[in-house]
């Protein structure tokens, strides 16, 4: 492969275009191992290609100390994503004046023999094993860092490649006895992920819940320890993944009974169930560059757009591309409001809960008066230098 890149030395524009197209085609055709999910490990072989500069195209191996050597410089790459290493190499080439504006492409070189581990594991990827042997299913998952927090232990799939991709499903729950399940070369292990919902507000243990498929609000409340004494079950709020808010009411003890005359709304992946306080209406604070900064007293969560609307909308000087949320627990998060232009999607829905502070900052504006003053000083200085030199 390296000799292929080095052979592309012709400097004509059409041939350089062909170089770029060939290299791009190579990387596009590569497996999903090269995505930003994969993290580089010790022993990996990386192909570093610079489009139009074959002399800078090299194959390097990640040493036991987690580093690679490229043109006399060591780079710590173990545990980093392919995109991060790509950025490191590009910065090095520009900083040391090797290439002015390089197009760098870094890709792990696939080993001939290995097992694929994906899904709800900590480090999905392809892991090399000896072609003369196999490993256990537990060992294969351990190579990928173990199961992730949202792993469905009852839904571990093993796809055999030696028999027309036969799919086997195993239950690896912690209460089950160990079973020796062998994984062969080029087999695929996939750990099914669970859906994630949240229960917030006046419940005993607010936070995330991992479920299979959908769950009723009664079950969700029970798994969150049940409502507190201050919970208002007549004004429950369901926030769907797309940001839609729905309010509904239930009797005080409905969550304890399996018999419920009215159908219970279901919660699915990404939904939030909010239980408000029966005794008080709590504020969400909106500060900064809005027309009417104030505390907005609400009984449940608000979207950013709703909070801004309640405060009269953005001020003319407001930064409409990003806002800052100061959570009640002391954490701070910056949220982008600009749509993803590459994918054509809108930002993910972010909710404000009672006690949170939404801060709208001022947009960047050029101080033309200051710029004019500096320009005048520079022009005057140049004029003085010309007169002195004359």
Q: Which CATH number do you get for residue 97?
A: 3.30.1950.10
Which of 275, 308, 323 lies at the terminal end of a domain, its last residue? Answer: 275
Domain range holding 119?
114-193
pLDDT at 325: 92
Asked if 153 and 238 sit in the same domain, the reply is no
Percentage of residues of the chain with pLDDT beyond 90: 10
pLDDT at 37: 58
Whether the predicted pLDDT of 210 surpasses 90: yes
Asked if 8 and 102 sit in the same domain, the reply is yes
- Is 367 among the domain residues? no
Sign of the dihedral through C-alpha 59, 63, 69, 75: positive
Pairwise CA distance, residues 139 & 288, whole Å: 54
- Rounded average pLDDT over 270-278: 86
Asked if 73 and 154 sit in the same domain, the reply is no
- Candidate from 95-104, 156-165, 339-348 with smallest mean pLDDT: 339-348
- Is 390 among the domain residues? no
Whether the predicted pLDDT of 290 surpasses 60: yes
Average pLDDT over the chain reads 78
Which of 66, 87, 108 lies at the terminal end of a domain, its last residue? Answer: 108
Q: Which regions of 180-248 does DSSP assign to beta strands (E)?
A: 182-183, 188-193, 195-201, 207-211, 215-216, 236-239, 245-248
Q: Which residue has the higher pLDDT, 52 or 258?
A: 52
Asked if 158 and 237 sit in the same domain, the reply is no
- pLDDT single digits (tens) 172-185: 988 888 888 888 88
- Is 382 among the domain residues? no
Binned at pLDDT 50, 70 and 90, residue 264 comes out as low
- Rounded average pLDDT over 206-234: 88
Pairwise CA distance, residues 213 & 152, whole Å: 11
Q: Which residue has the higher pLDDT, 11 or 385?
A: 385
What is the β-pairing status of strands 245-248 and 236-239? antiparallel
Q: Which residue has the higher pLDDT, 328 or 132?
A: 328
Pairwise CA distance, residues 232 & 250, whole Å: 9
Binned at pLDDT 50, 70 and 90, residue 167 comes out as confident
Question: pTM value?
Answer: 0.49
- Is 44 among the domain residues? yes
Asked if 265 and 289 sit in the same domain, the reply is no
pLDDT at 129: 77
Q: Tell me the CATH number at 239.
A: 3.10.560.10
- Is 311 among the domain residues? yes
Asked if 59 and 156 sit in the same domain, the reply is no
Binned at pLDDT 50, 70 and 90, residue 164 comes out as low
Asked if 188 and 235 sit in the same domain, the reply is no
Whether the predicted pLDDT of 314 surpasses 70: yes
- Is 383 among the domain residues? no
- Is 153 among the domain residues? yes
- Is 343 among the domain residues? yes
Binned at pLDDT 50, 70 and 90, residue 341 comes out as very low
pLDDT at 127: 83
Query: Are 273 and 236 in contact, with CB atoms under 8 Å apart?
Result: yes
Asked if 337 and 317 sit in the same domain, the reply is yes
Pairwise CA distance, residues 246 & 260, whole Å: 19
Q: Which residue has the higher pLDDT, 73 or 32?
A: 73
Asked if 214 and 310 sit in the same domain, the reply is no
Asked if 302 and 356 sit in the same domain, the reply is yes
Whether the predicted pLDDT of 6 surpasses 70: no
Q: Which residue has the higher pLDDT, 379 or 269?
A: 269
Asked if 245 and 308 sit in the same domain, the reply is no
Question: What is the total count of domains within the chain?
Answer: 4
- Rounded average pLDDT over 259-281: 76
Which of 193, 213, 234 lies at the terminal end of a domain, its last residue? Answer: 193
Asked if 263 and 301 sit in the same domain, the reply is no
Query: Are 88 and 48 in contact, with CB atoms under 8 Å apart?
Result: no
Whether the predicted pLDDT of 15 surpasses 70: no
Binned at pLDDT 50, 70 and 90, residue 257 comes out as low
Binned at pLDDT 50, 70 and 90, residue 323 comes out as very high
Q: Which residue has the higher pLDDT, 193 or 61?
A: 193
Pairwise CA distance, residues 281 & 271, whole Å: 23
- pLDDT single digits (tens) 80-131: 888 889 889 989 998 888 888 888 888 777 656 788 888 889 888 878 776 6
């Amino acid at each position: 492969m390296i000799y292929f890149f080095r052979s592309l030395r012709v400097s004509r524009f059409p041939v350089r275009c062909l170089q770029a197209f060939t290299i791009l085609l190579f990387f596009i055709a590569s497996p999903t191992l090269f995505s930003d999910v994969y993290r580089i490990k010790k022993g990996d072989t990386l192909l570093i290609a610079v489009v139009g500069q074959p002399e800078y195209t090299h194959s390097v191996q990640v040493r036991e100390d987690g580093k690679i050597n490229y043109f006399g410089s060591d780079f710590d790459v173990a545990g980093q994503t392919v995109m991060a290493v790509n950025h490191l190499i590009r910065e090095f080439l520009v900083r040391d004046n090797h290439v002015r504006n390089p197009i760098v492409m870094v890709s792990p070189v696939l080993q001939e023999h290995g097992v694929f581990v994906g899904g709800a594991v900590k480090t999905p990827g392809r892991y090399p094993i000896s072609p003369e042997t196999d490993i256990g299913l537990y060992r294969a998952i351990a190579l990928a860092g173990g199961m992730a927090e949202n792993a469905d232990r009852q839904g571990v799939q093993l796809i055999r490649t030696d028999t027309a991709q036969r799919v086997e499903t195993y239950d690896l729950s912690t209460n089950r006895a160990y079973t020796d399940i062998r994984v062969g070369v080029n087999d695929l292990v996939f750990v099914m992920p669970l859906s994630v919902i949240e229960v917030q507000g006046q419940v005993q243990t607010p936070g995330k819940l991992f479920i299979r498929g959908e769950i009723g609000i009664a079950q969700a409340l029970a798994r969150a320890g049940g409502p507190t004494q201050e919970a208002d079950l007549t004004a429950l709020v369901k926030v769907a993944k797309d940001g839609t808010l729905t309010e509904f009411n239930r009797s005080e003890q409905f969550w304890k009974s399996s018999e419920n005359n009215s159908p219970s709304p279901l919660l699915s992946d990404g939904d939030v169930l909010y239980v408000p306080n029966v005794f008080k209406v709590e504020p969400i604070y909106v500060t900064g560059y809005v027309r009417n900064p104030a505390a907005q007293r609400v009984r449940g969560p608000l979207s950013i757009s709703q909070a801004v609307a309640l405060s009269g909308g953005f001020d003319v000087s407001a930064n409409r591309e990003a806002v800052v949320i100061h959570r009640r627990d002391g954490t701070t998060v910056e949220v982008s409001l600009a749509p993803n232009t590459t994918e054509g999607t809108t930002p993910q829905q972010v909710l404000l809960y009672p006690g949170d502070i939404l801060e709208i900052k001022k947009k960047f504006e050029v101080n033309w008066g200051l710029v004019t003053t500096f320009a005048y000083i520079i022009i005057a200085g140049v004029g003085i230098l010309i007169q002195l030199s004359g």
